[in-house]
Amino acid sequence: MRDVRERLKGSIPDLITPMKKGAVDEAAFRKLVAWQIAEGSHGLVPCGTTGESPTLSHEEHMRVVQICVEEAAGRVPVIAGAGSNSTAEAIALTRHAKAVGADAVLSVTGYYNKPSQEGLYRHYASIAEAVDIPIVLYNIPGRAIVEISVDTMARLSKIANIVGVKDATANLMRPSRERAACGKNWRLLSGEDGTALGYMAHGGHGCISVTANVAPKLCSQFQEACMQGAFEAALAIQDKLVPLHDALFCEPSPGPVKYAASLLGLCSDEVRLPMMAATEGARTRVRDAMAHAGLKV
């Protein structure tokens, strides 16, 4: 468990799921995974929100995780999206992730049904008891409405296979408070590209990133600089990436990031309803931001 925990660091793209004529484009996804590793990504997250997990069938979800594990082949850790607002469903997805060889799972809070803090604690404790795999909590109140409090996170950190958090709160006091409450072994992963620099300065270990889908080398270099404490170098990279961070969320994700990926020849820009492909205005903004970052399109 300690070895896996220590590998959860650096630039970890929250992978898009390529689509073609309504189906998952498995060939494009395999190429995407191989390219990400070649470009220096430190880990991979299949079937996160950026991967359109809400619109994937269970069969598609499980297949995407399996392909990612196969293509990664142990070179970088795979943190499989396995969350749900149903505890039983989350356990089933977590069991599958372990069965196909994922290194860890990413498990979101109870969106829509808005559990209490005790409900969140019992939800995660039940998953951890059912499946012996490292679990990274996903704290994203902007989408899920509910937020894991620091006190609840401290309780959960005492469960051996709950190892850290993807923090998409954009609250830069959270990592410092969580380090104090959860201990030095708690893995702190930003889930918000724009504030990742500050998060790392507060003791973070890495970022589960949307931007790394299309700028993996820059995001990897940025994280390497942060992990070495070279924050001046990291800031120079941040200045290149900030317009791209903003552009990729100028409309609901993953429309803009899939368009950016299409410009790089990685996949089509196809998304599934209710998500929409990027509008022309968003496309112009994405192209300009990619040029600012030095990405060749």
Q: DSSP secondary structure string, 60-125?
A: HHHHHHHHHHHHHTTSS-BEEE---SSHHHHHHHHHHHHHHT-SEEEEE--TTT---HHHHHHHHH
Nearest to 161 by CA among 67, 44, 82: 82
Nearest to 124 by CA among 96, 176, 161, 78: 161
191 Cβ contact list (under 8 Å, min separation 6): 14, 138, 139, 140, 166, 167, 168, 207, 208
Q: Which of 121, 166, 258, 259 is catalytic?
A: 166
- How far, in Å, CA of 103 to CA of 113, rounded? 29
> Is the peptide bond prior to 274 cis by the omega test (within 30 degrees of 0)?
yes
Q: Which two tokens stand for residue 17?
A: 């799921």
- Supply the DSSP string of 21-72, one letter for each residue: TTEE-HHHHHHHHHHHHHTT-S-BB-SSTTTTGGGS-HHHHHHHHHHHHHHH
31, 266 Cβ separation under 8 angstroms = yes
CATH H superfamily, domain 2-228 = Aldolase class I (3.20.20.70)
Number of helices (H) and strands (E) in the chain: give both, helices first: 13, 9
For position 197, what pLDDT does the model report? 98
How far is the first Cα of the chain from the last one, in angstroms, to the nearest whole number? 41
Q: Which of 121, 138, 199, 259 is catalytic?
A: 138
Enumerate residue ranges in the chain where pLDDT < 70. Answer: 1-2
For position 1, what pLDDT does the model report? 58
Residue with tokens 């799972």: 105
For position 4, what pLDDT does the model report? 87
- How far, in Å, CA of 36 to CA of 51, rounded? 15
CA distances from 280 to 84, 98, 99, 243 (A): 33, 41, 43, 17
Q: Where are the domains of the chain?
A: 2-228
For position 2, what pLDDT does the model report? 60
Catalytic residue status for 138: yes
pLDDT digits (tens, 9 = 90+) for 268-291: 999 999 999 999 999 999 999 999
139, 165 Cβ separation under 8 angstroms = yes
pLDDT digits (tens, 9 = 90+) for 141-160: 999 999 999 999 999 999 99
Q: How far is CA 265 from the centre of its chain?
A: 22
